[in-house]
Amino acid sequence: VVSVVNESIAQWYREAYPGVDPVVVTNAPTGADGVIDLRAQLGIPESALLYLHSGYLAPGRNIALILRAFAQVEDVHVVFVGAGTLLPEVERAAATHPNIHRLPPVEPDQVLAMTRGADVALCLIESGCLSHRLSTPNKMMEAFAAGVPALCSPLAEARRYLGKQADTWVLEDPERDLVSALEQITREDIDAFTSPEIPTWEEGAARLREAYERALAARSH
């Protein structure tokens, strides 16, 4: 039995290993209902769009690019919720630019409520290898589960989930396209966003159990 976390990886295995048909198990995020009012905490007016970067502040997540972009587009805000090795860079930018903010991490069961407090989530994973290009980042799945659009790097799963909406929410080249996206995305774009349906953990776990049962039955015979 081979299990993988998304359909893009499953298709890669089908092509690379003919006869293998992986079971896809998506660990969809869950959390508390409600909304954490990030705007009130940060003093951001309703008229300004608020972007969210959640999770560990580490290399590979285009944090330096995000900081540069928001330093140029000062009429939109970004909040980094998390800690990590790049925290000093984020704090220096926040001290210099009033539209860049930082908050400490929240408990895991509060992540969805926190995500609902933003207009757009950032999922700008650096996609320099196949593993990253075929990944399903937590940031993206948390945003979709919260009903919030995710502005993504060119990930196969982002395109698959978003369909036609990928034209707005997937950047072919984040280094080239992020600033223009921040200048062009409007409240109307956000209101028009339809969150894709995410398979639940329970659905994937049931398929995985069935696959194990078939394999064990075949082995016993």
The 10s digit of each residue's pLDDT in 148-203 is 999 999 999 999 999 999 999 999 999 999 999 999 999 999 999 999 998 888 88
Half-sphere exposure of 161 (CA within 13 A, CB side): 30
Find the DSSP H helices in the chain. Answer: 7-16, 38-42, 63-72, 87-96, 111-115, 130-133, 138-146, 156-162, 166-169, 174-184, 187-192, 201-220
- Collapse the DSSP code of 151 into the 3-class scheme (helix H, G, I; strand E, B; otherwise coil) and give the result: strand
Averaged pLDDT, 133-148:
94
CA angle 89–93–96, rounded 5-degree value: 145
Query: Any idea how long the chain is?
Result: 221
pTM score of the predicted model: 0.92
Strand, coil or helix: what is 158?
helix
Q: Write out the two tokens for 149.
A: 């659009």
